[in-house]
């Protein structure tokens, strides 16, 4: 068995880091450039199972609405690791509500990469 090139092992992590940078810029087109046409996003809300958005159009609309409703949204990565086509990211999501109060939650995203793009983003939150 031949060794797998490190660049291939790090692929998912590099893509997810780029995705998170676009998220923190609120750059929906930049985020969607990293997601496949058949992408699936499982949101944390509403509890307990969250909502599922399937396909480029639905996921794009979700992110556009999300940033309109949460213009101070920011994700701080606490830990990230991946291997090949999977990546796990522990995060702290911070926001400021309409009254100016700051809030945060912590959680985990599990990503899958297919053909060099994010095909799945499943989000889970503590609490």
Instruction: Please indicate, yes or no, if residue 1 is contained in any of the structural domains.
Output: no
CATH of the domain at 21: 3.10.450.50
pLDDT at 84 (0 to 100): 82
Give me the domain span that covers residue 84: 6-125
Q: What angle do CA 62, 33, 25 make, to 5 degrees?
A: 65
Please report, in tens digits, the pLDDT of each residue of the chain (127 residues total).
455 566 666 889 999 999 999 999 999 999 999 999 999 999 999 999 999 999 999 999 999 999 999 999 999 999 999 988 999 999 999 999 989 999 999 999 999 999 999 999 999 999 7
If one counts the domains in the chain, the total is: 1
Entry pTM: 0.92
Largest distance between two CA atoms of the chain? 59
The answer to whether residues 52 and 40 touch, using CB atoms and an 8 Å cutoff, is yes
């Amino acid at each position: 068995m031949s060794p797998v090139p490190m660049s291939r092992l790090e692929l998912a992590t590099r893509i997810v880091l780029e995705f998170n940078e676009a998220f923190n810029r609120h750059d929906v087109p930049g985020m969607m450039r990293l997601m496949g046409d058949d992408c699936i996003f499982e949101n944390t809300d509403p509890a307990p199972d969250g909502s599922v958005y399937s396909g480029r159009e639905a996921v794009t609309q979700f992110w556009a609405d999300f940033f309109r409703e949460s213009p101070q949204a920011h994700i701080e990565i606490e830990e990230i690791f991946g291997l090949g086509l999977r990546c796990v990211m522990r995060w702290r999501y911070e926001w400021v509500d309409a009254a100016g109060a700051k809030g945060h939650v912590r959680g985990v995203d599990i990503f899958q990469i297919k053909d060099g793009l994010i095909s799945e983003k499943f989000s889970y939150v503590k609490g």
